[in-house]
Amino acid sequence: MSIPFSIINTETMRSIQNAILIGVLSLFLYVYCKVNTEPKVAKAGYSNAKRDDKEDPEINKDYYKAREFNKYAVAADNVICSRMGKDILRQGGNAADAIVTTHCCTEIINSHSTGLGGGGFLLYYDKDTNKATSYNFREVLPEKYVEGINKTAGETVLVPGVLRGLEAVHQDYGKLEWKELWKPCINLAEKGFRIHHALEMAIAHKAMFIHRNLGLKELYAPDGFKLKKGDLLKRTKLAKTYRLIADKGAKEFYEGEMAKQIVADLKQHGGKMSLEDLKKYQVIKEETPIHIKLKGMDMYSTSAPSSGAWLALCLKVIENLDMTAKKYKKNPTRIYHQFVEAFKYSYAAASYLSDTKFNKNANKIEQWMLKPETAKEIAQRIDDHSYQVEHYQPYSKAFLEDKKGTTHMGALDAHGSAVSLTSSINAYFGSKIRSRVLGFMYNNELADFSEFWPQLYNLTRDEKIPGKRPISRSMPTIFVKNKEVQGVFGAAGGAFIPTAMSTVLSNWLFFNDNLKVAITRPRIHSQLFPPTVLYEKTLPPEIVTSLTKNFGHVSITNDTYDVSGQPDAILGVVQAIVRTPAGKLAAECDYRKGGAPDGA
List the binding residues: 138, 424-426, 448, 494
* CA distances in angstroms from 579 to 68, 487, 488, 534, listed in the order given: 9, 6, 9, 32
279: CB partners within 8 A, 6+ apart: 254, 255, 259
- How many C-alpha atoms does 64 have within 13 Å on its Cβ side? 20
Distance CA 429, CA 415 (A): 36
DSSP 415-430: TS-EEEEEEEEESTTT
Q: What is the DSSP string of 129-194?
A: TTEEEEEEE--B--TT----SS--TGGGPPBP-HHHHHHHHHHHH--S-HHHHHHHHHHHHHH-EE
CA distance 379 to 397: 22
Strand partners, 74: 411, 598
Contact indicator for 486, 479 with CB cutoff of 8 Å: yes
- Report the Cα 187 to chain-centroid distance in Å: 26
**Distance between CA atoms of residues 213 and 555, nearest Å:** 37
What does the DSSP assignment read for 184-253?
A: HHHHHHHH-EE--HHHHHHHHHTHHHHHH-HHHHHHH-TTSS---TT-EE--HHHHHHHHHHHHH-HHHH
The answer to whether 579 touches 484, Cβ cutoff 8 Å, is yes
Q: What angle do CA 547, 548, 550 make, to 5 degrees?
A: 70
Closest CA to 534 of 560, 559, 556, 567: 556
| DSSP β-bridge partners for residue 587 | 67, 577
> How far apart (Å, rounded) are the C-alpha atoms in residues 417 and 412?
6
Q: Which run of H or E residues covers position 301? A: strand 297-301
Q: Backbone phi, then psi, for 73, in 5-degree steps?
A: -155, 150
Is 545 part of the annotated catalytic residue set?
no
Q: Catalytic pick from 101, 302, 356, 406?
A: 406
Measured distance CA(128)–CA(101) in Å, rounded: 23
Q: How open is the CA angle 135-314-452, to the nearest 5 degrees?
A: 75
Spell out the residues 6+ positions from residue 108 whose beta carbon is closer than 8 angstroms to its own.
185, 188, 189, 193, 235, 238
The count of C-alpha atoms lying within 13 angstroms of the C-alpha of 534, restricted to the half-sphere facing its C-beta, is 24
Handedness of CA 196, 200, 201, 206 (dihedral sign): positive
At 256, is the secondary structure helix, strand, or coil?
coil
Q: Is 107 exposed, middle or buried (0-12, 13-18, 19+ CB in 10 A)?
A: buried
Annotated binding site for L-glutamate: 138, 424-426, 448, 494
Q: What residues are annotated to the active site?
A: 406
